[in-house]
Amino acid sequence: MDARNGEVIHSENADTRLHPASLTKMMTLYVVFEAVQNGEISMDTPVRISKKAAAEPPSKLGLRAGSTIQLRYLVRAAAIKSANDAATALAEAISGSEAAFARRMNRTAKALGMSRTTFKNAHGLTESGHMSTARDMTILGRHVLYDYPQYYNLFSRRSTDAGIKAVANTNRRFLDAYKGADGIKTGYTRAAGFNLVASAERGNERIIVTVFGGNSTASRNAQVAKLMDLGFNKAPSRMALRTPRKPPYLGPDTSAPTETVIARSQTPSTNTRAKSIRVVAAAVKTSLRPTARPVAQPVLPDALVAELQQDIQSVLAEVQTEAVQEITATSAQIALPIATPNVAEKTAPAASVKPVVRPRTLVLASATARQAPEVQQPVQTREAEIVTRISTSGGRHWGINVGRFPSRFAAEKALLTTALSEMSTLDGSLRKVVNGSRGYDANFMGLSRESADLACRRLQARQVTCFMIGPS
């Protein structure tokens, strides 16, 4: 294939379904690169190795169950050494299990146009139904090259540090023997034979070759070199670069049902075997809000009930009357005295005497009439005001959280995606990313309690994580 425009130059049995062996790891790494670019995980994330990953047969890095290793070293081991334990650990780190990761691999393969490929695992060891074709693997190799060029240099390294040890490239013979070769991936099992997807660049030309079912490393490399020469001879020296269209980001698979097994252990003194309960999470068919537990209503005394049933208006009138009387009585005690003016003050205009006004004082009085008749002010009263405090429970002081993410970019993207899918209830809310010690929380703020509750119920019905945030 001419990598510049994706046109096939030569093919034989290109659509025959065969065992891809470790060519599978190209898709494993493609999904990992996608997850890293979209903030699901980072190259520095420590990955805990499971018993399943540690038990994978060779080729392997030699990971121990229970140990932790950074994701970048697993990527190097899978790309360079073709380590099966590293591939399984990557799958579990991204999707939680290898089976869930395989489903994501198949969704990605469909989005790339790999119409005759089915993945059952992340490493490529022989498994019933785990099949692909030379054409599909060539398409995948081209996407690895152009969709994630920042990682493509991995495949040309002759050796690299994989955290616990240095590893050598399984494709180093072809890389050393063929001019311009810079990748991509080898694969071998007894069922598959010797497979290779290779890419080489000379000047402005780049060719991708895929061979399935070689009898040995040497014969396979010779066949790849022969096809490379054919490609470079037939490909035009000048051609406009038309990179493949990168598929849309599909993200983790949240639509497929998942199974969780919960072990209920007995006390150490008994010999009864542990029981298992299988909980199947499927689409929500009933309300997520539990029915409130009935609470017995307290019985009030008859006297209190009679008092509560009095006319509310009469109670308010009584309170208002008492308030006016209390204010009037208090005003005489808080009168503002003015000293007897001297000769200079008698010649001053009356306007120069200014009473002192205290906050919230309803009555102002001057000195007695004998002392300062020219500045005496009449007593003024004002009706007492009855102020009722309005509850803010219905205000827009609520919010919702739609997940915690490893990066700000991923949190902002989740907020935008959620806002577009739930415009009816989230309209007018404020998208806010909160950086905490455990990651970046994606929040919608400025909602009423009713709208926050409705938004969460609608999102949870679509299997989107959501919980309400009350007023602070």
Closest by Cα among 365, 347, 349 to 357:
365
Count of H helices and E strands in the chain?
15, 13
The encoded tokens of residue 259 equal 């199974």
Alpha-carbon distance of 78 to 102, in angstroms, equals: 16
Q: Can you tell me which residue has the tokens 């949190």? A: 411
- Neighbouring CB atoms inside 10 A of 28's CB total 29
Contacts of 251 (CB under 8 A, 6+ apart): 38, 40
The encoded tokens of residue 242 equal 């038309």
Q: Can you tell me which residue has the tokens 């907020």? A: 415
Alpha-carbon distance of 225 to 107, in angstroms, equals: 33
Alpha-carbon distance of 37 to 25, in angstroms, equals: 18
Contacts of 221 (CB under 8 A, 6+ apart): 173, 174, 177, 178, 196
472: exposed, middle or buried (Cβ count in 10 Å: 0-12, 13-18, 19+): exposed
Contacts of 6 (CB under 8 A, 6+ apart): 139, 142, 242, 244
8 A C-beta contact, residue 209 and residue 23? no
Q: Is the peptide bond before 216 cis (omega within 30 degrees of 0)?
A: no
Alpha-carbon distance of 191 to 161, in angstroms, equals: 31
Which letter does DSSP use for residue 246 in this model? P
Q: Can you tell me which residue has the tokens 């209830």? A: 425
User: What are the C-alpha distances in Å from 445 to residues 289, 405, 461, 471?
Assistant: 21, 18, 21, 10
The encoded tokens of residue 102 equal 């395989």
Closest by Cα among 213, 170, 177 to 195:
213
* Catalytic site positions: 22, 25, 82
